[in-house]
Structure 1
């Protein structure tokens, strides 16, 4: 009898759950990343969230079309959708501690809200802009120049933007009063000046309603409301809706890849998705028979790993009722080495892989055979997702047997919280000014949710949002760091947070002792003299109590 995925039900527990459940544990980090899809700040803000190893970039558009630049939410949503659901996309890195499909669904929902807004804005642009194209081009040129001037670091130069707008407005009024044309062209010239302005007021109401909706969703996600992403375009209602079916299949593929048991080791970057290696403890001694007159009973590395796996399942149990460990996720991982600067990964393929999962018999073969030289390696991992998905702790165990030496290595990996940028709530748009009479006092003035420049930017972009490649060429786009995974791309180190650091350090000692105890039991049962192993284990047990995090993958030769 088999379970979905082709794994015999009798050994399902041995290989761990085939569907990693982030569940409630990962909601905070998941919603923090999803909130980026609804944000209206500058796209360059996301560069502040880059960490030491993974750098995103903002690719600029044309110098004279900065009016088409995207904001953070627009750029993030489009970049994530293209990268994670695009046709022929490169493999993704698993996002431990979050649910990437939820983030992608919110990106789709945010794009859907903007698409409905842009449809309304296009009607405004056609009726009040394209029909009066000369006036529209003049006003767009004014706002483009104003946008360029406003970016000047010199305050006096930057203030010229407001002066330019007032001057053009005065000229427009003068033109209406002293128009040099008569007849049809005179009335058309008047309409070409007035219609874009009237369209701006109409567009402002549309933009404000959408901005209010996006900000409410942004705030709800970070307040724990758990607002759902409405994406009806992913549910095909008939055989003719091929686009919806393709989108549904892309989301299903994303979920399947998230469940893969194949990960990648990128040198000092650590295991992508699990974080850098901060500690390593090795027990290596000679295999000597306990009875000199008898040989050691033959066993393999897999026998030791299996015993360790069974023992690790008891980690949440203890002699005292003091809380202790939550139930960890225990899985067998196939680790593929890649270069530190690699920009793409390639997942294992062939008959030994099904739905991104390396099959059990192949895992055993790698564990027993591939211990030296090139090729993938096997690790047994015990993982905790803590702090609502903000901290991912992973302890990896590998067993190797070379000649007469058995080595048991335990390494600690930690992935810290998502950058604080993603956990910031929307702030009301307001400014503090001096009172006119009591000039020594100040008051707070509420600003419009969408200012004049933003209305013009959104209206101009609306004409091209139906074809994103052209819009990216005009206004620029966000380029995600590669190899890309939602979680590790914007993760901080946990060592700046005292309690997170404590959790990482405290997990090492009990895991190390459980691993050693299970391994020693297997060795003893197979006729191995465990005296030296026991002495070395006791030494490591004392050493790990003084543990401190360090860059274990940076070898100072």
Structure 2
């Protein structure tokens, strides 16, 4: 067991080109944009939802980063969570670590704001309630589409400010209550100025991490709460185990076929080629030397493992990942998946003997199926997941070899947007027909009030979620495929997917024919059919191969 496996995520991971999707998804945890932005990343298969907040509790509404980080943590580290879809070309544990780190930064800010709330708010509660009511009314007015009503928001704040000055000068109380009333009017405002400085500092920190992640920097996610320092730290141990379980599930060899949605995590099936011929003995008297599907699959595995080797030193395939997969069918509209269980499964991995049995026996009727996959999960800096799946079946005397192509495109561009400093264009004082750009503060007055109000009840996230709303993640959920786009709009990505089909198909046929010849099978029909397929695959084009036009 390695140091990191035991102690959890502590060492900052260096940036790398292949981590672009990981860092893009992780950067969302640090964003301060509106929560509704998540809907911009929806695609034809997955529609994100934003839980409606209570109309009277707009002040508790989370921003994008707050809602996203909490949603990802709850979904991926929950004790009774549903199974997750693997995120090929991405490291979900790194994303979750950054969500935890972002929440820790916000908790530290909220601790300071809570202390300010107690000193400047709770001790002067009447004044705090009045100011909160004023800001809430102003926020409601500014949200109104009617310009007259929205303009009243600023006027309301000005009127209250003038009223406060008059109240300070001519307080109706005497003695102790006179000074307390003045404190109620002034101290919450002073607390607001201190809170603004705290919020500005945290906002700069979060935005700095957001930008560094998207620039390929080595921003580490420090999660000290995941490192138990003594046996009695149950919460830290539970978090460490949850992160370890997440990593184990990411390495699972079990995937799910969701009809027209394709294999979840690998993308839709864009092409399919079939080689199916009768097994005829080379010598009718001697017959066929017996073999099973697994014999053919092993030969194909060996052939695909050396795809990166070639005689001409002019580039070629990078080293592929060749792996045996157990594929389970789920409905197109399934809201959850269920992984194989039992004695044949250990640490989310179907054992090799069980994989071989499924390959040999489960070729017809219900049950899981075996596929041999050759995959490149880090093409185009991780933006293209290219997978070719091969399955071998023998029914009666017919051997059938199926090669299918799956492709998953880049993460939606929403997650690649870098932070932009808030600016505003205003007319010049003298040359009023010209405009100039002025910088605005990172944290507005309303934002300070919102953060301070959320900090007061931040110790209980379910209440915050009930009051302010939350992001609903698409199911079955996997970080990579939930917000992935199709690769076919990118010319070179599409070319790479199409070009891979021909050499892989030929390698598969070469291995099959070699095995058949070794087992005394007449390979003439197979060779003719393979030659025809080799010619037709040169004109490969992406299609919706999983949509049967019946």
The TM-score with structure 2 as length reference comes to 0.96
For the 8 Å contact 2:383–2:411, the answer to whether it is kept is yes
For the 8 Å contact 1:284–1:407, the answer to whether it is kept is yes
Deviations 1:254-301 (A, max 9, x none): 000000000011111111111111111111111111223331111111
2:329 maps to 1:351: no
Q: CA deviation at 1:382?
A: 0.3
Q: CA deviation at 1:438?
A: 0.5
The range that moved more, 456-465 or 141-150, is: 141-150
CA distance in 1, matches of 2:15, 2:423: 38
Partner of residue 32, structure 1:
24
The range that moved more, 179-188 or 241-250, is: 179-188
Partner of residue 102, structure 1:
94
Partner of residue 5, structure 2:
none
Deviations 1:217-251 (A, max 9, x none): 11111111121011111111111211111111111
Say which of 316, 321, 341 aligns to 1:329: 321
Partner of residue 422, structure 1:
415
2:292 maps to 1:300: yes
RMSD: 1.5
For the 8 Å contact 1:42–1:71, the answer to whether it is kept is yes
CA distance in 2, matches of 1:63, 1:521: 70
For the 8 Å contact 2:270–2:405, the answer to whether it is kept is yes
Partner of residue 549, structure 1:
542
Q: CA deviation at 1:138?
A: 1.3
Say which of 367, 376, 380 aligns to 2:372: 380
Partner of residue 11, structure 1:
none
CA distance in 1, matches of 2:423, 2:159: 26
Partner of residue 498, structure 2:
505
CA distance in 1, matches of 2:546, 2:149: 50
Helix, strand or coil for the counterpart of 2:470? strand
2:308 maps to 1:316: yes
2:111 maps to 1:111: no
For the 8 Å contact 2:16–2:216, the answer to whether it is kept is no
Q: CA deviation at 1:150?
A: 1.8
CA distance in 2, matches of 1:168, 1:530: 91
Q: CA deviation at 1:406?
A: 0.9
Say which of 257, 268, 272 aligns to 2:260: 268
Q: CA deviation at 1:184?
A: 2.1
Instruction: Describe the shift of the 1:440–1:25 C-alpha distance in structure 2 as closer, same or farther (beyond 3 A).
Output: closer
CA distance in 2, matches of 1:183, 1:417: 68
**Gapped regions of structure 1 (runs ≥ 5):** 5-21
Partner of residue 459, structure 1:
452
Q: CA deviation at 1:172?
A: 1.9
CA distance in 2, matches of 1:173, 1:196: 14
Q: CA deviation at 1:25?
A: 5.8
The range that moved more, 284-293 or 199-208, is: 284-293
Helix, strand or coil for the counterpart of 2:430? coil
Say which of 357, 366, 371 aligns to 1:365: 357
Partner of residue 8, structure 2:
none
**Gapped regions of structure 2 (runs ≥ 5):** 3-13
For the 8 Å contact 1:77–1:110, the answer to whether it is kept is yes
Partner of residue 51, structure 2:
59
CA distance in 1, matches of 2:219, 2:15: 15
Partner of residue 440, structure 1:
433
2:67 maps to 1:75: yes
**TM alignment of 1:75-224, pairs within 5 A:** 75-224=67-216
Moved beyond 4 Å, runs of 4+: 22-25
Helix, strand or coil for the counterpart of 2:108? helix
CA distance in 2, matches of 1:155, 1:529: 83
2:526 maps to 1:533: yes
Partner of residue 514, structure 2:
521
CA distance in 1, matches of 2:478, 2:88: 9
Instruction: Describe the shift of the 1:23–1:116 C-alpha distance in structure 2 as closer, same or farther (beyond 3 A).
Output: closer
CA distance in 2, matches of 1:493, 1:381: 20
Deviations 1:330-359 (A, max 9, x none): 000000001111111111111000000000
CA distance in 1, matches of 2:502, 2:155: 67
The TM-score with structure 1 as length reference comes to 0.95
For the 8 Å contact 2:48–2:473, the answer to whether it is kept is yes
Q: CA deviation at 1:179?
A: 2.3
For the 8 Å contact 1:434–1:443, the answer to whether it is kept is yes
CA distance in 1, matches of 2:386, 2:421: 37
CA distance in 2, matches of 1:122, 1:224: 35
CA distance in 2, matches of 1:178, 1:504: 78
2:271 maps to 1:279: yes
CA distance in 2, matches of 1:215, 1:105: 17
CA distance in 2, matches of 1:266, 1:89: 20
Report how many aligned residue pairs link the two structures: 538
Deviations 1:113-160 (A, max 9, x none): 000000000011111111111111111111112222222233333222
CA distance in 2, matches of 1:257, 1:317: 31
Q: CA deviation at 1:415?
A: 0.8
CA distance in 1, matches of 2:385, 2:372: 16
Partner of residue 223, structure 2:
231
Partner of residue 8, structure 1:
none
For the 8 Å contact 2:15–2:217, the answer to whether it is kept is no
2:397 maps to 1:404: yes
CA distance in 2, matches of 1:455, 1:23: 33
Partner of residue 282, structure 2:
290
Deviations 1:146-201 (A, max 9, x none): 22222223333322222222222222222223322222222222111111111100
CA distance in 1, matches of 2:16, 2:363: 38
For the 8 Å contact 1:25–1:97, the answer to whether it is kept is no
CA distance in 1, matches of 2:424, 2:131: 27
